[in-house]
Homo-oligomer: A and B are copies of this chain.
Amino acid sequence: MAHAYEHPHPAVTTDVVIFTLAADSLKVLLVRRAHLPFQNQWALPGGFVEIGEDLEVCALRELEEETGVTGVFLEQLYTFGAPRRDPRERVITVAYYALVPMDRLHLRAAGDAREVAWFRCDALPELAFDHADIVRMAQQRLCAKLQYSTLALQFMPDRFTLGELQRVYEIILGEPQDKRNFRKRMLAYDCIEDTGTERRNGNHRPARLYTVKSPGEVRIIR
């Protein structure tokens, strides 16, 4: 049954590049490997696809196991299958990336022995396998997609200020945005809504709070 076709069967995994924003920087979730190969090195969360398990379901499972979140943005990135990317046997990995809003994290207690941590994208440790390539491609995709879609809204909490949203763009793109043009553009997309409420934050004028009109949707713009 498992070998109904007369052909070699490689192992297949999914790996997930889980992004979030914290402390004014873009972060990726990594886990420290407990076993060989690459023992003790940092790697992307991921695991083997079960027979009968859909690829995206597998990635969602990894995502929830590591961050406790469900219902967030997840998209297939690319499939990496170089013959010797895993030193043990042939392993093909279907890579996904996910965007977790800053406020929805419930990181698993590191009770299951493995170490789990967020790393700044601009200061990653050495990674196992070809995971550095995977993260690089995910970050490229994120940058690109930010500029022709409303993807950035997937990082926002339920209510947020335009200043916070602008900071998200600035952190990911790595360049400052003009405040007036930014606000004009965002409001023109008609994707966010003034809640009528405000937030007081420091020694300055309170900021209006906005919400995303249809939270699930990522619209293509331009």
Name A residues whose Cβ lies closer than 8 Å to a Cβ of B. Answer: 1-5, 7-12, 48-55, 76, 78-79, 81-83, 88-92, 94
Contacts and interface: CB of A to CB of B under 8 A. Distances in A.
A51 B5 contact: no
B52 A81 contact: no
Contact of A76 (B51, B78, B82): B78
B55 A92 contact: yes
A4 B83 contact: no
Nearest to A94: B79
A129 to B, nearest CB: 13
B55 A79 contact: yes
Which of A79, A83, A91 has most chain B Cβ within 10 Å? A79
B89 A2 contact: yes
Nearest to A50: B8
A81 B55 CA distance: 6
Nearest to A55: B81
A53 B90 CA distance: 9
A10 B8 contact: no
B89 A52 contact: no
Contacts of A52: 83, 90
Given A8-B51, A49-B81, A55-B79, 18 more contacts: A2-B8, A2-B9, A3-B89, A5-B11, A5-B91, A8-B49, A9-B11, A10-B12, A12-B12, A51-B90, A52-B90, A53-B83, A54-B81, A54-B82, A55-B81, A79-B79, A92-B92, A92-B94
A54 to B, nearest CB: 6
A161 to B, nearest CB: 31
Contacts of A2: 8-9, 89
Given A48-B5, A48-B7, A76-B78, A12 B83 contact: no
A90 B4 CA distance: 9
Contacts of A92: 12, 49, 55, 92, 94
Nearest to A82: B54
